[in-house]
Amino acid sequence: MQKNLKKLEGNLKVKFKNIDLLRSSLVHRSYLNEHKDFPLDHNERLEFLGDAVLELAVTDHLFNNYKEAEGILTNWRSSLVNGDRLAQAAEAIGIYDFLHLSKGESQDSNKKARSYILANAFEAVVGAIFLDQGYKKAEKFIKDNLIVQLDQIIADKAYIDAKSMFQEKSQEVLSVTPRYKVMSESGPDHNKKFVIGVYLEKELIAKGEGYSKQEAQSQAAANGLKKKKSQK
């Protein structure tokens, strides 16, 4: 099914010379499994390109506008280009409604899976803009839709990851270092889901889940921070 992309071009504020580049950036691999005659490739190569353009644009902006040390700039960049933030930016633009997905993917209610698809699509759209319009246009798109969030990230200290923040607070208040324990694993080896608990000494503070131990630990720490904040 060929989707009319004029509305999306309006949302992106980009008028494509080659609309097939934009269309291809919206094609999930799963769609081609069900539509063998679809004339375009899936978006993974554009995603690969867009990831590099995105990192360059964000790095360039940080280098030229801030005098902080490398470690701080790296944390700010990581916070800007993390998957959840890219997915939120893609959602705000309305990209999801234009994606070509398999029936299974389009009916999947898993928020994490949707977020992952959206983040990849955002990078693919950046790649498409870069190929169609050049670096300056791609850079403007990134500034307007992503870098614009930087001031709020800095104000909220959102660049400090949840694990680091939870450890800092735990040591500051209780002089205790958090420890993480896998509570359960489920699913096949290639798509295993972990539930991990974060403990202060012997007390279970919160749980988190994810498709990697790192992701589950980060969610557990974030939930721990929320719990401790609500108890104040």
Q: Among residues 105, 123, 132, 139, which one is catalytic?
A: 123
Active site residue 209: no
CA distance 65 to 193: 40
Half-sphere exposure of 34 toward its Cβ, with a 13 Å CA cutoff? 12
Q: Among residues 51, 105, 132, 139, which one is catalytic?
A: 51
- E strand intervals along the chain: 179-186, 193-200, 203-210
**Cβ distance 180 to 197 under 8 Å?**
yes
Amino acid at 76: W
CA distance 215 to 201: 22
For 177-201, the DSSP string reads --EEEEEEEES-GGG-EEEEEEEET
CA distance 232 to 228: 7
Active site residue 123: yes
CA distance 27 to 41: 7
* Catalytic positions, written as ranges: 51, 123
